[in-house]
Amino acid sequence: MTLHSVSLLRRVASVALAMFGFTSLVNPGTASAGEYVGDDQAVVADAVRALDAFERWERLGDTLAYLEYVDARDDTAEHVALGSGVSPDELKAVWAIGDLHGQRAALAALSQVGVPYKRYSAEEGVSFDCSGLTGYAWGRAGIELPRSSRIQYRSATRLDRDQALIGDLMWYPGHVMLYLGIGDLVVHSPTRGRTVEYGTLSADRASWVRFADPVATNSDQG
């Protein structure tokens, strides 16, 4: 089975979950739309732990490392959910069915929460602009993206909202983000004076958003 086929199967599973009501926002939580978390060391630590375990599993084929990855990924999802006001169980479920590249990209971006915004920057642990963060995150997943937000979106395969999975690009003119799999939950590097952060887009911002999948395009080209 090709990587593209796996991605499509995961999207079918995501739609099935949605049909059974597993992707609604049900937990009143601590944050509302338009509010973001830009200082969450628990999320950073868990995301780093997940990435380290994934890389060990990829390098060594160690089943224990994969189980460690799943545990750290779920811990990351739980902290993100609690910080953004969504159901931890639902977020864990939608992350689990996401493409592994998308999971890894999202975790890479979350590992940089708290890193300052800087225009034209893409330096781990130092600073990012919006497309610098998405390019860095997908690079950690083994897929190179173009530098600008518009070209990143245009070079990927466009998706309907109900097809989008964790790690997919969310774009509106002038800005690109990574989708976190539920509602309008994102991780991004927004603007000067802020940091890499996660949270739910406001309704106004969300109405402009378009989705795209870098995995499908790259696998098709390969």
Q: Where are the domains of the chain?
A: 7-15+32-221
Whole-number pLDDT of residue 218 = 53
The structure tokens listed for 217 are 């395009």
At 198-208, the pLDDT tens digits run: 999 999 999 99
Average predicted confidence (pLDDT) for the chain: 87
Whole-number pLDDT of residue 219 = 47
Whole-number pLDDT of residue 35 = 83
Long-range contacts of 1-5 (CB under 8 A, 24+ apart): 2/219, 3/101, 3/215, 3/219, 4/215, 4/216, 4/219, 4/220
Tell me how far apart the alpha carbons of residues 105 and 134 are, in angstroms, rounded to a whole number: 8
Whole-number pLDDT of residue 30 = 55
- H helices then E strands: how many in the chain? 9, 9
Q: Which CATH architecture has domain 7-15+32-221?
A: Alpha-Beta Complex (3.90)
Bridge partners, 195 (sequence order): 116
Sign of the CA dihedral running 66, 9, 101, 1? positive
At 174-211, the pLDDT tens digits run: 999 999 999 999 999 999 999 999 999 999 999 999 99
Query: Residue ranges of the chain with pLDDT lower than 50?
Result: 1-6, 8-10, 12-29, 219-222
The SS3 assignment for 191 reads coil
